[in-house]
Amino acid sequence: MSLVTPFAVFRRRLIGSALLLSLVVGGCAAAEADESPESLQSPEPLALLAGGALVRGEQPTAQSILARRGPYQVQRYTAGLRNGPGYGSQTMNIPTNAEPPFAAIAIVPGFVSPESSIGNWGPFLASHGIVTLTIGTNSTLDQPPARERALMDALETIKNENTRGGSPLNGKLDLSRLAVGGWSMGGGGTLNAIQKHPELKAGMALCPWNPGVPYSRITVPTLLFSGTLDALAAGQGPGFYRSIPASTPKVSWEVAGADHFYANDPAGRGGWVGAYGLSFLKTFLEGDDRYRQFLSVRGPGSATFESTVR
């Protein structure tokens, strides 16, 4: 069974330039509207499509993907979680009024940075129905290989929540739908992890740092953010993108004038950071093909934008 109807295919072909205009013009209004009480009303039932795709809520729009939060209420907790030896602090973010099963992602920060530096991704993604575990590292000096190990250990904690007595996620996770993400050296760790673990569904690298490392064996769908004024990792994201095989679904957004920190928060760049992250994870982690259309749109301020996703 396919979600994409003939009308949807026709609509996707028409959306082109009109989508870009509506994203720029409508983004601010949508961000404000999303904070209203109406955004927390009970969602429509989850649709499970052939192949196990998780399809939630109404048809996404240019306005909805730029909003500050999604339609679901979010619970955050740390108590009761497995004490993963591969990482430090942790916060689980879960949607409380969305229908399971849930896909999940673990996200790690960068060099000399705490969990809080990427913390806003947790409630943002959970508000759209994606369980998110943000973590800190055992040492803020950990290099990309250690952050890779931290991410994989964090996924073990997510898996444990699916069977732990008293867990709000007990029996509610789809463990075939797991992803990783990270910033800076955490982005390097993310790329390392998805190169070694092709069973993962997606990787999201925020201004990744891991100079000189090629990623020619990555088959996992990969999203990369980078900035031209990044004093630490400028140029690495587009370079990593080019090293990943053309057969792998991949998107690289390099923003003119952006620094090393702009993608740490999904609200960055007027919500475009979150729009790309959400659309990518919805498409490849949850399998919701309605979001695919947004992954070929060139965002404002792009120095380069490259995508194999059509």
Which of 260, 265, 279, 288 is labelled catalytic? 260
Q: What is the share, in percent, of the chain residues with pLDDT greater than 90? A: 83
Q: What is the pLDDT of residue 219?
A: 98
Annotated active-site residue 260? The verdict is yes
| 45 confidence band (pLDDT: 50, 70, 90) | confident
- What is the SS3 string spanning 83-138? CCCCCCCEEEEEECCCCCCEEEEEEECCCCCCHHHHCCHHHHHHCCCCEEEEECCC
pLDDT over 50 at 100, yes or no: yes
Answer yes or no: is pLDDT of 39 > 60: no
Annotated active-site residue in 127, 184, 252, 307: 184
CA dist 182 and 76 (Å) reads 19
Greater confidence, 198 or 28?
A: 198
Q: What is the pLDDT of residue 17?
A: 35
For residue 75, the model assigns a pLDDT of 98
The mean of the pLDDT values for the chain is: 89
What is the mean predicted confidence (pLDDT) over 130-149?
98
Name the phi and psi angles at 130, rounded to 5: -105, 115
Per-residue pLDDT, 83:
95
Q: pTM for the complete prediction?
A: 0.87
Q: What's the rounded Cα separation, in Å, for the pair 79 and 159? A: 16
- As assigned by CATH, the class of the 6-307 domain is alpha beta
Residue-level pLDDT at 33:
32
Per DSSP, what are the bridge partners of residue 93?
76, 132
Q: What's the confidence (pLDDT) of residue 42? A: 55
Active site residue 197: no
pLDDT of residue 165: 97
* Whether the bond into 60 is cis, omega within 30 of 0: no
More confident residue, 29 or 278: 278
Active site residue 184: yes
Given the residues 174, 230, 288, 289, the one annotated as active site:
230
Q: What pLDDT, on a 0 to 100 scale, did the predictor assign at position 48? A: 85
pLDDT at position 99: 95
Does pLDDT of 258 surpass 80? Answer: yes
pLDDT in tens, 154-165: 999 999 999 999
